[in-house]
Structure 1
Amino acid sequence: MKKTRKLAGIMVAAVLAAGLSGCGSGQTAATQAQTEAAKTTEAPKAGEPAKEETAKEGPASEAETEAQKAELPEHYKMAAVKASDEPIEIKFCYYSNNPFWDLIKAGLNDVTNYLASYNCTVTPVDMGSEADGKTIADYIETLELDDPAGIVCPPMADGTEAYIDRAVSDGVTVATYLSESTNQTDTRICFVGSDAVAGGATAAQMTADYTGGKGTVGVITGYLTMNQHEERRKGFNDKLAELAPDLTLLEPVEAHDSATETYDAAVDLITAYPDLKVIYCTAGGPYGAAQAVKDQGKTGEIGVVCFDWVPDNLQYVATGEIIGAVSQDPENMAWMSVMSVFNYTVTGEKPESTHLLTDSDLVTPDTLAEKVPDFKAQ
C-alpha cells in the first residue's frame, strides 16, 4: 500500500510540473487581455461614484450541482457538508445472521443513495453469519488493500482495536458502530450506537414490574465475548439487583444470535424451571424464545424481554409473548457512521463527539399501536 501511495505521489508531482509550465505561457495572454479590458472601460465622470463590478461566479461542478438536489431523508439528522471534489469510496461492513441487520441495511441503502449525489460510493460488505473478532479482523485487513477513503465496521470484540489502529495508521479513516472493543482508542473518528448498559437497565425495570419481584429469570445472550451483549447483561443484572433482589437470576446461555438456538434454550429453561417468569434476551433471535413460550402454552405466564423493533419481534409483541422490546435505531447507526467518515474525508473535521448515541425506546403490547403505527400483525 505504501508503494502505491508513493507512486501516486510521483504521478501527481509530474502532473503539477506540467501544469505549471503551461501556466507560464498563459500568463502573457491573460495580461494582454486585462490591458485591453482596461482600455475599453470608461472612467467615471467627475462627481459620479465609481461603478462596482460584481464578481461572476464560475459554473458549479457536476458534483456540487447533484448535491444541491439531494434532500436529507426524514428521520436522519446528520447531513453531508459538501460534495467531494474527487470520487471517493467508503466500505461498510455488516453481518447477516439475524433480522437486525435488515434494519442496518435499510439505513445503509438510504445513505448510499444520498451520498451518490456527493461524489461518494458506499460499498456494502456482507461478512456472513460468524460475528467474532477474527472475522472482522480479516475483513479489515483485506479491505484496506483496496485503499478506500474509509471503512465502517462493527468490531464488537476485544483484540480488534489493533487492526483498526493499523488501518488508520495506513491512511484509512475508520468509524465503528453497534459495538466495539473495550480497548478501542480514539484512532477511529467515532463510535455510533446505543447505550447498552442503559438498555439493560430498561429491560430490568420491565422485568421487575412484570414479575413483582418474585420468581426466576433466565438469560439468553448472543456471545459472552461480544461487548455489547455483555454490557446489556451487566446493566440488567445491576439494575435488577437494585429493583428486585429476591428474584432468582440464572446464568446466561449463549445462542449466537440464532433464533433456532434461542428457541431451544428457551424450551430448556421453561422445562427446567417451573417458576420461570421472564426470559431476558440480550442479542439477536429473541423471537425464537417468544415462539417457545407460545408453543409451551405459557403466553401470559412467562414474558420475553429483548431488543430491536424488527418485524419478527413486533409480531410477538402484538400477541403478548414479548412483553417489552428496547430499540436502538439501527438505521441511524448506519447513516451516522457513514456520514461521519464522509464529512471527515471532505472537510478534515471530526464529529462533535467520539461517541454518537442513537435514540432508544421501549415498546410493549400496550404501546405498540402508538409507537409503531405502521406495523401490521400477521
Structure 2
Amino acid sequence: MTRMKAGLSGLALAAGMAALAAPVLAQSQADMITPIDKELTFVFIPKVIHPWYDVVAEGSHFAAAELEKRGVKVNVIWDQPPQADVVDQNQRIEANIGRRPDGLSVACLDQATNVQMLKEAKAAGINTFTFNSFCSGEFPFVGQKDSYQDGYDLGAKLVEVLNGEGEVGILSGSLTATDHVERILGFKDAIKDHPGIKVVFEQPDNDVLEEAVALTENAMLAHPNIKGFFGSNASNPIGAARAVKNAGKSGEIAIVGMDDLPEAVDFVCDGTITALKAQRQWDIGYWSVIYMVAANEGHTFPMDHNTGSRFITKDDCK
C-alpha cells in the first residue's frame, strides 16, 4: 500500500470512528414539522363589508373544509368593518391581537397605520399575513400585487376604445387603499401620452356603490360631453354602469374598471361596461388559509403569492 493510500485509509477510519462516537446531528425535514393537535382560529379583516370579499370568504371556507378531511380543524372568522374606515379597521386589528388567534390576515386600508398595527401583531407572536391590498414586504401577501398594471391596462383599453379622444372621469375608491391608489397611477400613466384624453372628474366613492352611482350622475350633468369612466375598485364600475344605463347612454359612454362581481359581468355582456380586470378572489381566500396552517406547522410558505388578474370583455360572454 502506498503512503497516500495508507493516509487516506487512516483518515477514513478516523472519520468513521468519530461518526460513531458523536451524536447524530442530522435531522429529517419531516421531523421539523409541528403536528397540529388543536383547533386553529384564523381571523380575516377586510377593508369593508363587500360582495367582493364574499368570494374571498368562499375560498377560505373551502380550504377549511378540505383541511378538516385531513384532520386539521380550522375556524375561519371574518371581522368586517361596515364602512371603509381606517380607525374602525385598526381597532379591529388591535382587538384581535388581544384575542391571540393562530393567524391574522388583513387587507390594508391605510398603509402607514396598518403596518404599525401588524408589527404589533407579529411581535405578539401571531402569524400575521396580508391579502388583497399590499401593505409591506415584512408580511406574507396573497393577492394581485401589481395593481398599477391593472390600472395601466384599463387606461390603455379606454384610450383604444375612444380612439385617443374624449373627456373621462375617475371614480377613485378609497384614497388611502394602496391598490386603489396604484391603479389610478397606472391609469393616468396609460393616458398621459394621449393629449386628446382629458380627465375632467375625479372623486372617491369610498367603496360605496350608491356613492358611485351619485358621483357618476353628477359627472354626466357637469360634463355632458364625457365619454368614459374608470373605476378603481369592484363597486364603482357597477355604480357607473347603473348611472349610464339609467341615462340611456349604454354604448355611448365607455366604462372600464375592476373585478367580476355578477352585476358587473352582466353589464359587460349587455354592452354597458367595456372591459374589466378581474382578480382571483377565491384563490386569495383559499391560499391564505393554507399558508396560515403552514405557518402553524413550521412549513415554509411564500412571502408573495401573486394571484394575478385577467381581462373580461364582451367576447367572454359567448
TM-score over 0.5 for the pair: yes
Please state whether the residue corresponding to 1:250 is helix, strand or coil.
Answer: strand
Deviates more, 1:206-215 or 1:148-157: 148-157
**Number of matched pairs:** 282
Could you give the per-residue CA deviations for residues 60-103 of structure 1, whole angstroms, max 9, x where no partner exists? Answer: xxxxxxxxxxxxxxxxxxxxx99623332222223554321221
Per the TM alignment, residue 218 of structure 1 is displaced from its structure 2 partner at its CA by 0.3
Equivalent-residue separation in structure 1 for 2:68 and 2:43 (angstroms): 14
The answer on 1:318 being equivalent to 2:272 is no
Is the 1:156–1:178 Cα contact (8 Å) retained in structure 2? no
Is the 2:151–2:182 Cα contact (8 Å) retained in structure 1? yes
Change (3 A) 1:254 1:90: same
Counterpart in 2 of 1:305? 256
Is the 1:157–1:180 Cα contact (8 Å) retained in structure 2? no
TM-score by length of 2: 0.83
Counterpart in 1 of 2:172? 221
Per the TM alignment, residue 151 of structure 1 is displaced from its structure 2 partner at its CA by 0.6
Amino acid at match of 1:255: D
Is the 2:251–2:271 Cα contact (8 Å) retained in structure 1? yes
For residues 134-213 of structure 1, what are the structure 2 equivalents within 5 Å?
Answer: 134-158=87-111, 159-181=113-135, 184-186=136-138, 188=139, 190-194=140-144, 195-213=146-164
- Unpaired runs of 5+ in structure 1? 1-80, 370-378
Counterpart in 1 of 2:197? 247
Equivalent-residue separation in structure 1 for 2:287 and 2:210 (angstroms): 32
Equivalent-residue separation in structure 1 for 2:191 and 2:316 (angstroms): 23
Is the 2:118–2:128 Cα contact (8 Å) retained in structure 1? yes
- 1:111 aligned to 63, 72, 84, which one? 63
Change (3 A) 1:173 1:302: same
The answer on 1:271 being equivalent to 2:229 is no
Is the 1:132–1:157 Cα contact (8 Å) retained in structure 2? no
Could you give the per-residue CA deviations for residues 209-254 of structure 1, whole angstroms, max 9, x where no partner exists? Answer: 1100001110012111111100000011011213x23210134211
Change (3 A) 1:116 1:191: same
Q: Which has the higher contact order (CA 8 A, sep 6+)?
A: 2
Equivalent-residue separation in structure 1 for 2:59 and 2:47 (angstroms): 14
Per the TM alignment, residue 279 of structure 1 is displaced from its structure 2 partner at its CA by 0.7
Amino acid at match of 2:187: F
Could you give the per-residue CA deviations for residues 30-56 of structure 1, whole angstroms, max 9, x where no partner exists? Answer: xxxxxxxxxxxxxxxxxxxxxxxxxxx
Please state whether the residue corresponding to 1:114 is helix, strand or coil.
Answer: helix
Please state whether the residue corresponding to 2:245 is helix, strand or coil.
Answer: helix
Please state whether the residue corresponding to 1:229 is helix, strand or coil.
Answer: helix
Amino acid at match of 1:91: V
Larger Rg: 1
Equivalent-residue separation in structure 1 for 2:204 and 2:230 (angstroms): 12
Is the 1:88–1:149 Cα contact (8 Å) retained in structure 2? yes
Equivalent-residue separation in structure 1 for 2:137 and 2:309 (angstroms): 25
Equivalent-residue separation in structure 2 for 1:289 and 1:230 (angstroms): 19
Amino acid at match of 2:37: D
TM-score by length of 1: 0.71
The answer on 1:367 being equivalent to 2:289 is no
User: How much identity, in percent, do the aligned residues show?
Assistant: 23
- 1:291 aligned to 217, 233, 242, which one? 242
Equivalent-residue separation in structure 1 for 2:84 and 2:75 (angstroms): 22
Equivalent-residue separation in structure 2 for 1:82 and 1:315 (angstroms): 47
- Unpaired runs of 5+ in structure 2? 1-32
The answer on 1:127 being equivalent to 2:127 is no
Could you give the per-residue CA deviations for residues 179-224 of structure 1, whole angstroms, max 9, x where no partner exists? Answer: 143xx341x2x11111201100110121011100001110012111
Amino acid at match of 1:104: V
Equivalent-residue separation in structure 2 for 1:116 and 1:249 (angstroms): 51
